[in-house]
């Protein structure tokens, strides 16, 4: 990625990215950091947080790591408090954490699993924003990481898809509430072979089938998602709010 020509759009900015010790979240934190942001990364495990901070620091990125399971109220508040203690403000929040704990159909999904999906994928991002709102600057930006599944829930992850659909609604509603000082947008990734989506690369046939769904004949990369997120978070997108950017290689979504 360092070889790519990238700017310094986030010089002097402070960005929090949840679930950012690997995969798409890490890619986003790295991109914002390479463009000059001080990045606050987090996930459930201290070891993962420490390792990710080290990786970012070796690339010359200013990074702070805080353990935060997004559905833990104390850890959410601590994430915001530690950020403000160290950097004094928040310019960008990328809400990236999600769970997909079941492959059951919606009507066969246990109530406790329905609660968990709602809790982690929808409620936790709202509660984190409640904690962070007092520190969000004029010109700040919130990005939700939704999914192509928000438009067309797939049978093996239907309820997960519905929680992502909820994020699209949340994007619209919060864009109204938080305007004009804070813009709120979403990125809807297609298929990116991360740990979360390792089913894609489990067999060559599945990988091919997914690639063939795209117009661009390839899977997405964490850098693809990071570039779109960085655009929406930056002043290049200063007149965009309440929108979702689909980054899925042309997989059908909506008009």
**144 touches ligand NAP by CB under 6 A:** no
Residues 184-213 that bind ligand NAP (CB under 6 A): 189, 191-192, 194-197
Q: Please select the residue that binds ligand NAP; options are 120, 128, 178, 230, rule is CB under 6 A.
A: 120
Q: Which of 17, 21, 33, 178 binds ligand NAP (CB under 6 A)?
A: 21
Q: Using CB under 6 A, pick the residue from 70, 90, 128, 158 that binds ligand NAP.
A: 70
Minimum distance, C-beta of residue 7 to ligand NAP, in the bound complex (Å): 24
- Non-local (6+) Cβ contacts of 120 within 8 A are 70, 71, 97, 98, 99
Q: Is 22 in the site for ligand NAP (CB under 6 A)?
A: yes
Contact stretch for ligand NAP (CB under 6 A) within 32-40, 90-98, 107-115, 237-245: 90-98
CA distance 62 to 160: 34
Q: Is residue 87 flagged as an active site residue?
A: no
Q: How far is the CB of 81 from ligand NAP (least distance, A)?
A: 17
In order, the DSSP letters of 112-176 are HHHHHHHIIIIIHHHHHHHHHGGGEEEEEEEEEE--GGGTS--GGGHHHHHHHHHHHHHHHHHHH
Beta strands in 30-99 (DSSP E): 38-43, 63-67, 90-95
Is residue 40 within the footprint of ligand NAP (CB under 6 A)?
A: no
Among 38, 83, 96, 182, binds ligand NAP (CB under 6 A): 96
- Compute how many residues bind ligand NAP; rule: CB under 6 A: 27
Residue of 87, 135, 151, 160 marked active site:
160
Comparison of 219 and 237: residue with beta carbon closer to ligand NAP? 219
Identify the three-state secondary structure at position 66. Answer: strand
d(CA 44, CA 131): 18
CB-CB contact of 113 with 102 (8 Å): yes
3-state secondary structure of 200: helix
Measured in residues, the chain has a length of 255
CA nearest 248: which of 220, 208, 210? 220
Residue 226 within binding range of ligand NAP, rule CB under 6 A = no
Which residues does the annotation mark as catalytic?
A: 160
Residues of this chain that interact with ligand NAP (CB under 6 A) are 18-19, 21-25, 43-45, 48, 68-70, 96-98, 120, 145, 147, 189, 191-192, 194-197
């Amino acid at each position: 990625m360092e070889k790519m020509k990238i700017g310094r759009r986030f010089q002097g900015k402070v960005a929090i990215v949840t679930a950012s010790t690997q995969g798409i979240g890490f890619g986003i934190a790295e991109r914002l950091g390479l463009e000059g942001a001080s990045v606050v990364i987090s996930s459930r495990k201290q070891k993962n947080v420490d390792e990710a901070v080290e990786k970012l620091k070796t690339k010359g990125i200013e990074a702070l790591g805080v353990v935060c399971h997004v559905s833990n109220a104390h850890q959410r508040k601590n994430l915001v408090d530690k950020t403000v203690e160290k950097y004094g403000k928040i310019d960008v929040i990328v809400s990236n954490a999600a769970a997909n704990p079941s492959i059951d159909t919606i009507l066969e999904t246990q109530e406790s699993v329905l609660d968990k999906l709602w809790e982690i994928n929808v409620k936790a991002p709202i509660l984190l924003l409640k904690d962070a709102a007092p520190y969000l600057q004029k010109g700040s930006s919130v990005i939700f990481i939704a999914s192509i599944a928000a438009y067309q829930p797939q049978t093996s992850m239907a309820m997960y898809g519905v929680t992502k659909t909820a994020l699209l609604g949340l994007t619209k509603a919060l864009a109204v509430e938080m305007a004009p000082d804070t813009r709120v947008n979403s990125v809807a990734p297609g298929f990116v072979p991360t740990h979360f989506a390792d089913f894609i690369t489990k067999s060559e046939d599945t990988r091919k089938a997914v690639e063939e769904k795209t117009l661009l004949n390839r899977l997405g990369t964490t850098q693809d998602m990071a570039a779109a997120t960085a655009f929406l978070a930056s002043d290049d997108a200063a007149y965009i709010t309440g929108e979702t950017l689909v980054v899925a290689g042309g997989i059908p979504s909506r008009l």
